[in-house]
């Protein structure tokens, strides 16, 4: 019998898997993946970050240094290791990460002849999740719509799109939604878009407000808006999510609000099955 309080006994259900995607670089994908994951973990949800970007910024952002690593996501994708053995803990209780390094660049080339190459992450993640239970998985994607991002979209239930409110933001968004539709029509029919997260928002900038309004007309946009905040850009150099670096900062508060909103949406969307699950969890 598992102990009632053992982490692996807490949730019998499948975790929610979110891919953090935008083909544009520098829009706040990694900042969102790291800080939303940390905020969700702070709400006592067992959370995993999967770093699918060879730049490894999510890994260094939670204090995992490339040099000390024996195994990374690359090893799991090419079938040389189990993803479970790649996962390491972070300083945030309940937050783990499957880290990546530059090696990951090679995965795209090495998998080119594999007919199942788009499904590698889905497969290894499913194996890992069968052995270790998580409530949330956030997949940080590289700034492209190449094979690594397609793997993330194949493995995910839903997509989170960080968006910087600039002039061309909507154009990029349209292109991204077309890619998501292609994935839905092909390898992952149940993929959905959870919503757009407005990042680096400058409320004194009129254009930012106009772009935000336009995006809201077409997509579900989270009410929690992430302001431009220097603490968010400083935290990664300390290897910490912002809630461990300066929890009072506007940036930290923004991601904590976003986490609350996400958890509320998920609770509201919860099926009868998840209500039963919650009752079982409460009873144990
Ligand atoms: N809300 C914010 N306020 C200030 N700087 C931010 C904010 N979000 C991200 N940054 C900084 O902007 C840069 C790009 O963000 P990042 O999350 O790495 O984007 P991406 O992963 O999409 O390339 C990083 O230096 C990051 O620290
Ligand atoms: Mg990034």
Find where tokens 């968006």 sit.
163
Angle between helices 120-131 and 147-155 (to 10 degrees): 40
12 CA to centre of ligand 2 in angstroms: 31
pLDDT for 205 equals: 94
Q: Which residue's CA lies nearest to atom 24 of ligand 1? A: 233
pLDDT of residue 193 exceeding 70, the answer is yes
Distance in angstroms between the alpha carbons of the first and the last residue of the chain: 12
Give residue 279 CA to ligand 2 midpoint distance, Å: 38
pTM of the shown model:
0.92
Fold of 14-269: Rossmann fold (3.40.50)
Pocket test for ligand 1, best of 27, 233, 242 (most atoms within 8 A of CB): 233
- The residue assigned the tokens 């670089």 is 25
Q: How far apart are CA 118 and CA 152, in angstroms?
A: 9
Q: Would the pLDDT of 277 be above 90?
A: no
- Cβ(52)–Cβ(149) below 8 Å: yes
CA 16 to chain centre: 10
Band (140; pLDDT cuts 50, 70, 90): very high
- Residue 273 Cα to ligand 2 midpoint, Å, equals 35
- Summarised one tens digit per residue, pLDDT across range 106-135 is 999 999 999 999 999 999 999 999 999 999
**Average pLDDT value for the chain:** 92
Owner of token pair 């400083």 = 234
Is residue 250 predicted with pLDDT exceeding 70? yes
Task: Give the binding-site residues of ligand 1, using a 6 Å CB cut-off.
Answer: 25-31, 57, 143, 199-200, 226, 228-229, 232-233, 236, 251
pLDDT band per the 50, 70, 90 thresholds, residue 280: low
Q: Give the mean model confidence (pLDDT) for residues 186-210.
A: 96
Say if residue 281's pLDDT is above 70: no
Q: How far is the CA of 26 from the centre of ligand 2 (A)?
A: 7
130: closest CA among 97, 84, 86? 84
pLDDT digits (tens, 9 = 90+) for 79-113: 999 999 999 999 999 999 999 999 999 999 999 99
Kindly state the average pLDDT of the residues 181-187: 96
Distance from residue 7's CA to the centre of ligand 2 (Å): 29
Ligand nearest to C-alpha 199: 1
Summarize pLDDT for 158-170 with one digit per residue, the tens. Answer: 999 999 998 888 8
* Ligand 1 pocket test, candidate residues 28, 59, 148, most atoms within 8 A of CB: 28
> Which atom of ligand 1 is the closest one to the Cα of 24?
22
Q: 102: CA distance to ligand 2 center in Å?
A: 13
Identify which of 17, 39, 274, 13 has the alpha carbon closest to the alpha carbon of residue 125: 17
Calpha distance 19→12 (Å, rounded): 22
Percent of the chain predicted with pLDDT > 70 = 91
Mind listing the pLDDT tens digit for each residue in 51-68?
Answer: 999 999 999 999 999 888
Tokens of 18: 């979110």
Contacts of 249 (CB under 8 A, 6+ apart): 229, 231, 232, 242
**Ligand closest in space to the Cα of 32:** 1
Ligand that lies nearest to the alpha carbon of residue 27, given by its number in the listed order: 1
Whether the per-residue pLDDT at 232 is higher than 90: the answer is: yes
In this predicted structure, what is the pLDDT of residue 43?
98
Residue whose token pair is 């195994």: 71
């Amino acid at each position: 019998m598992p102990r009632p309080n053992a982490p692996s006994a807490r949730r019998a259900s499948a975790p929610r898997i979110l891919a953090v995607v935008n083909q544009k670089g520098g829009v706040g994908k990694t900042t969102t993946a790291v800080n939303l994951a940390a905020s969700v973990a702070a709400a006592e949800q067992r959370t995993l970050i999967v770093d699918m970007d060879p730049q490894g910024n999510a890994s260094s952002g939670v204090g995992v240094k490339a040099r000390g690593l024996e195994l990374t996501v690359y090893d799991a994708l090419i079938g040389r290791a189990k993803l479970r053995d790649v996962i390491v803990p972070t300083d945030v209780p309940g937050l783990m990460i499957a880290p990546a390094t530059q090696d990951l660049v090679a995965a795209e080339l090495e998998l080119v002849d594999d007919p199942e190459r788009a499904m590698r992450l889905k497969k290894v993640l499913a194996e890992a999740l069968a052995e270790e239970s998580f409530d949330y998985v956030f997949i940080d994607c590289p700034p492209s719509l190449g094979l690594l991002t397609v793997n993330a979209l194949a493995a995910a239930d839903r997509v989170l799109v960080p968006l910087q409110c600039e002039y061309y933001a909507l154009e990029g968004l349209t292109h991204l939604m077309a890619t998501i539709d292609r994935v839905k029509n092909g390898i992952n029919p149940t993929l959905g878009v959870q919503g757009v997260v407005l990042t680096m928002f400058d409320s004194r900038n009129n254009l930012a407000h106009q772009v935000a309004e336009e995006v809201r007309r077409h997509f579900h946009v989270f009410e929690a808006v992430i302001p431009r905040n220097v603490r968010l850009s400083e935290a990664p150099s300390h290897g910490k999510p912002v809630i461990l670096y300066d929890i009072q900062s506007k940036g930290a508060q923004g991601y904590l609000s976003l986490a609350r909103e996400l958890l509320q949406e998920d609770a509201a969307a919860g099926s009868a099955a998840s209500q039963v699950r919650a009752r079982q969890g409460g009873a144990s």
